[in-house]
C-alpha cells in the first residue's frame, strides 16, 4: 500500500507528532493548519494522527519537509522570544521559561478572557446561544488551570529542580498530564462551538476582542502543554 511513500516521508510518518512539533514553530504551524493535536495527542505517530483525522499523508509530509528547508533561513531573522531549540535547553531553564512566559501569560489573560466572555454572553447570549456554553466552559477551564499552575510551580517543577525521582514524581507527572488532557478537551469543545473563533457578521468590538483573546489563550496553552508533555516530561 505504501510502496510509493519513500525514505524521508516514511520515516517522518513513524515519528511522534510531539517529536516533530519540538523541532520548531514552523512544524507547529503546519499541525495547526491541519488541526492535528500536537500537545495532548503528541504521543501518536504522524501516520496515526493522519489516519484519525482523515488527512492526506503526502500533503502534510511535503509541507513539513518544505518547512524544514525554509526553517534555518527564517530563524536567522528572528529576534523575538522563541522556544526554538527548547529540546536542547537545560531542564531548569526550560521550567523557568514555561513559568515566566506561559504561566504568566495565563495569569494575566485568563481573568481578562473571563471578563470579556461574561460581557458578550450577557449582551449577545440570547441571539448566540453558544456564547453561554463557551462562557461556562471558559470558567471551568480557568478554575482548573489556576489550580494546575500553582500545583506545578510549588510541587512538580520544584521537585524536578530538587532532583527528586521515584514514584512520587511519576505520579505528579501523570497528574499533570491528566490535567492537560482535561483542558485539551475543553479547548476542543470551545473551538467547535465558536467555529474556530470566527465572529458572526453582527459582532461588535467586544465580541471580536473576546474571540481574539480566547484564540490567543488557546494557542498559547497548546504550546505550553507541548513544552511540558513532549519536552520537559520526556527528559525526566
Ligand atoms: Fe504549566
Ligand atoms: Fe501543565
- CB under 8 Å to 83, separation ≥6 — which residues? 25, 97, 223, 227
Helix (H), strand (E) counts: the chain: 12, 0
CB neighbour class for 63 (10 Å; exposed up to 12, middle 13-18, buried from 19): middle
- Show the CA angle centred on residue 175, arms to residues 183 and 47, nearest 5°: 65
User: Counting ligands in written order, which one lies closest to the CA of residue 98?
Assistant: 1
| Residue 56 confidence (pLDDT) above 80 | yes
User: Counting ligands in written order, which one lies closest to the CA of residue 99?
Assistant: 1
| Residue 4 confidence (pLDDT) above 50 | no
Where are the domains positioned within the chain?
7-76, 86-235
Ligand 1 center to residue 120 CA distance, Å?
28
User: Counting ligands in written order, which one lies closest to the CA of residue 173?
Assistant: 2
The percent of residues above 90 in pLDDT, for the chain, comes to 73
Ligand 1 center to residue 226 CA distance, Å?
10
Ligand 1 center to residue 31 CA distance, Å?
21
Point out the least confidently predicted range of 55-59, 64-68, 134-138, 228-232: 64-68
222, 220, 226, 217: which is closest to 194 by C-alpha? 217
Distance CA 43, CA 192 (A): 23
Q: Which residue has the cell 505520579?
A: 171
Ligand 2 center to residue 213 CA distance, Å?
20
User: Counting ligands in written order, which one lies closest to the CA of residue 176?
Assistant: 2
At 39, is the secondary structure helix, strand, or coil? coil
Ligand 1 center to residue 228 CA distance, Å?
7
User: Counting ligands in written order, which one lies closest to the CA of residue 233?
Assistant: 2
Q: Which residue has the cell 537545560?
A: 90
User: Using the 8-state DSSP alphabet, how is residue 166 labeled?
Assistant: S
DSSP for 49-98, please give it. HHHHHT--HHHHHHHHHHHHHHHHHHHHT--S---TTGGGS-HHHHHHHI
Ligand 2 center to residue 35 CA distance, Å?
21
Query: pLDDT tens-digit profile of 172-186?
Result: 999 999 999 999 999
Residue 82 backbone phi and psi in degrees, to 5: -145, 145
214, 25, 182, 49: which is closest to 115 by C-alpha? 214
Helix, strand, coil percentages (3-state) for the chain, rounded to 5, are 75, 0, 25
| Residue 1 confidence (pLDDT) above 80 | no
Distance CA 110, CA 198 (A): 20
Confidence class for position 84, pLDDT limits 50, 70, 90: confident
State the average pLDDT over residues 128-154: 98
Whether pTM > 0.85 for this model: the answer is no
Ligand 2 center to residue 224 CA distance, Å?
7
Ligand 2 center to residue 229 CA distance, Å?
8
Ligand 2 center to residue 117 CA distance, Å?
23
Ligand 2 center to residue 200 CA distance, Å?
33
Ligand 1 center to residue 224 CA distance, Å?
6
Amino acid at each position: 500500500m505504501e510502496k510509493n511513500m519513500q525514505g524521508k516521508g516514511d520515516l517522518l510518518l513513524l515519528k511522534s507528532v510531539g517529536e516533530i512539533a519540538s523541532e520548531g514553530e514552523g512544524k507547529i504551524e503546519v499541525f495547526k493548519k491541519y488541526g492535528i493535536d500536537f500537545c495532548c495527542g503528541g504521543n501518536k505517530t504522524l501516520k496515526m494522527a493522519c489516519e484519525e483525522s482523515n488527512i492526506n499523508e503526502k500533503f502534510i509530509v511535503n509541507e513539513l519537509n518544505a518547512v524544514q528547508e525554509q526553517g534555518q533561513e527564517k530563524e536567522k531573522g528572528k529576534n523575538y522570544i522563541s522556544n526554538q531549540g527548547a529540546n536542547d535547553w537545560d531542564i531548569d531553564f526550560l521550567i523557568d521559561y514555561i513559568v515566566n512566559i506561559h504561566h504568566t501569560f495565563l495569569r494575566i489573560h485568563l481573568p481578562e478572557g473571563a471578563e470579556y466572555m461574561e460581557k458578550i454572553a450577557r449582551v449577545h447570549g440570547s441571539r448566540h446561544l453558544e456564547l453561554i456554553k463557551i462562557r461556562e466552559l471558559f470558567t471551568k477551564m480557568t478554575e482548573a488551570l489556576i489550580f494546575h499552575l500553582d500545583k506545578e510551580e510549588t510541587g512538580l517543577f520544584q521537585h524536578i529542580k530538587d532532583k527528586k525521582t521515584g514514584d512520587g514524581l511519576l505520579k505528579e507527572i501523570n497528574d499533570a498530564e491528566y490535567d492537560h488532557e482535561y483542558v485539551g478537551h475543553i479547548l476542543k469543545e470551545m473551538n467547535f462551538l465558536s467555529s474556530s473563533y470566527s465572529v458572526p457578521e453582527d459582532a461588535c468590538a467586544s465580541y471580536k476582542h473576546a474571540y481574539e483573546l480566547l484564540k490567543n489563550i488557546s494557542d498559547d496553552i497548546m504550546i505550553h502543554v507541548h513544552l511540558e508533555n513532549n519536552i520537559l516530561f520526556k527528559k525526566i
